């Protein structure tokens, strides 16, 4: 019987008590492991070359910089890594900014530990983890502002055959590593295709790419 896959988690939060609580929470789960933690932006960026996290939990309020900017840097550094924004701020105001910067989830610090665990496991499956009303608002905004991007003819004229193939697999919720295995290409090559698709469709994050692929799949069907 094969062992269950272990999700590696990286924590960025300036409060020792918060990090300690998250550390204990993650250590208590058989399918999660802590691969690193940082207390500020500078530490997080210095640790980046030595880590290979599957999920980063990033506090929006950090003492030496903006957590939203760090989320964006993390997303460009490792697009396949999922990011959860952690915050005490108003959900609706900051969640949308976090998602648009590349996060896949948003957790308020007043939420329960079980909700955070659920969020980690959901974003690992390439799901967006926010309150339903925020998810609906994000989807409506994207649909209204970029509807033409999802038109099947528009997509066909902008993407190469290989990019279209990757785009179609993304729409089915298939992860980058699995797309690479499916197409017998390297993960780096798939990441390059993802980047080219985002550039051609004027998308700024992996979340927007997934959303666009799903909307296009619905349109073409």
The residues pairing with 11 across neighbouring beta strands, listed in sequence order, are 37, 57
| pLDDT bracket for residue 220 (50, 70, 90) | low
User: What's the pLDDT tens digit per position in 183-213?
Assistant: 999 999 999 999 999 888 888 788 788 878 8
* One domain, residues 113 and 176: no
What per-residue confidence (pLDDT) applies to 12? 97
Which of the two residues, 141 and 197, has the higher pLDDT score? 197
Average pLDDT on 52-77 reads 91
Domain assignment of residue 83, yes or no: yes
Q: Specify whether 107 is located in the same domain as 21.
A: yes
Give the residue, 162 or 214, on which the prediction is more confident.
Answer: 162
Check whether residue 20 and residue 72 sit in a common domain: yes
- d(CA 217, CA 112) in angstroms, rounded, equals 35
Q: Where are the alpha helices (DSSP H) in 48-124?
A: 67-77, 91-100, 113-124
pLDDT at 60 over 50: yes
From residue 127, give the alpha-carbon distance in Å to each of 84, 122, 214: 11, 5, 12
Are 124 and 148 in a shared domain? no
Helix (H, G, I), strand (E, B) or coil at 104: coil
pLDDT at 207: 79
E strands, the chain, where? 7-12, 32-38, 55-59, 61-62, 65-66, 82-87, 105-108
What is the per-residue pLDDT for 148? 45
- Kindly state whether residues 87 and 196 are assigned to the same domain: no
Structural domain range at position 98: 7-130
Question: What pLDDT score was predicted for residue 209?
Answer: 85
Question: 85 is written with which tokens?
Answer: 């924004």
Q: Are residues 18 and 99 in the same domain?
A: yes
> For 134-141, what is the mean pLDDT?
66
- In the listed set 108, 130, 152, which residue is the last one of a domain according to the structure? 130
Note whether residue 48 is domain-resident.
yes
Number of domains observed in the structure of the chain:
2
Q: Is residue 47 part of a domain?
A: yes
Best CA proximity match to 124, nearest among 86, 96, 83: 83
To the nearest 10°, report the CA torsion of 107, 109, 113, 115.
Answer: -30
Q: What is the mean pLDDT of residues 24-44?
A: 95
Same domain for 88 and 175?
no
Rounded Cα–Cα distance for residues 110 and 96 (Å): 18
Q: Is residue 65 part of a domain?
A: yes
| Among candidate residues 109, 130, 151, the one where a domain is terminated | 130
């Amino acid at each position: 019987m094969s062992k269950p896959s272990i999700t590696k988690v990286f924590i960025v939060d300036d409060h020792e008590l918060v990090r300690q609580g998250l550390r204990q929470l993650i250590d208590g789960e058989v399918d999660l492991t802590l691969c690193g933690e940082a207390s500020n932006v500078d530490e997080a960026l210095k640790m980046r070359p030595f880590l290979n996290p599957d999920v980063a939990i990033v506090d929006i309020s950090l003492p030496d910089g903006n957590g939203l900017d760090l989320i964006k840097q993390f997303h460009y550094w490792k697009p396949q890594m999922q990011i959860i924004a952690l915050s005490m701020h108003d959900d609706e105001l900051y969640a949308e900014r976090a998602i648009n910067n590349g996060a896949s989830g948003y957790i308020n610090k007043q939420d329960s530990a079980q909700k955070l665990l659920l969020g980690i496991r959901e974003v690992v499956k390439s799901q967006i983890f926010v309150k339903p009303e925020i998810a609906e608002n994000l989807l409506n905004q994207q649909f209204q502002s970029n509807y033409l991007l999802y038109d099947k003819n528009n997509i066909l004229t902008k993407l190469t055959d290989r990019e279209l193939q990757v785009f179609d697999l993304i729409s089915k919720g298939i992860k980058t590593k699995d797309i690479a295995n499916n197409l017998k290409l390297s993960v780096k090559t798939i990441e390059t295709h993802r980047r080219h698709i985002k550039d051609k469709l004027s998308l700024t994050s992996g979340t927007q790419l997934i959303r666009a692929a799903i909307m296009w799949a619905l349109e073409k069907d």
